[in-house]
Amino acid sequence: MIEVNELRALCGDDDSMVKMLLSIYLEEYGESDNILQSRFSKDDVNGLFQISHELKGMFSNLCAKEAMTLAQTVESRSQAGSLPDQNDINALCGKIKEINQQIEGILQ
């Protein structure tokens, strides 16, 4: 989950900035769980590296530490040329869904 208070503090307590960042995330990465599953099912190690690397950075920016750690696990495995573990993919996809729901609640 996103540490909203930490994110708000990084944005200078500017709620419009927080909402803008969250909207950008949803627009750019809201479907990333489907992308991860698709690339995993195709054994696309390079594609998994790319999306997990992007997600790691985005989750870091959004103060979503647990999701960032999960993305880093997938990134490290795929960077090494190995297909990540199905459990790691599932955990990251589940965390993405939770974050998406959290963001949708904030933006309403």
Q: What is the chain's pLDDT, residue by residue, as a tens digit (108 residues)?
A: 999 999 999 999 999 999 999 999 999 999 999 999 999 999 999 999 999 999 999 999 999 999 999 999 999 999 999 999 999 999 999 999 999 999 999 999
Read off φ and ψ for residue 100, nearest 5 degrees: -60, -45
Whether 31 and 93 have beta carbons less than 8 Å apart is answered as: no
SS3 (DSSP) at 23: helix
Residue 2 CB coordination number (10 Å): 22
**Category of 81 on φ-ψ map: left (φ > 0), alpha (ψ -120 to 50) or beta:** left
CATH number, domain of 94, equals 1.20.120
Q: Which domain range does residue 100 map to?
A: 4-107
CA atoms 42, 47, 53, 59: torsion sign: negative
Q: What is the number of domains present in the chain?
A: 1
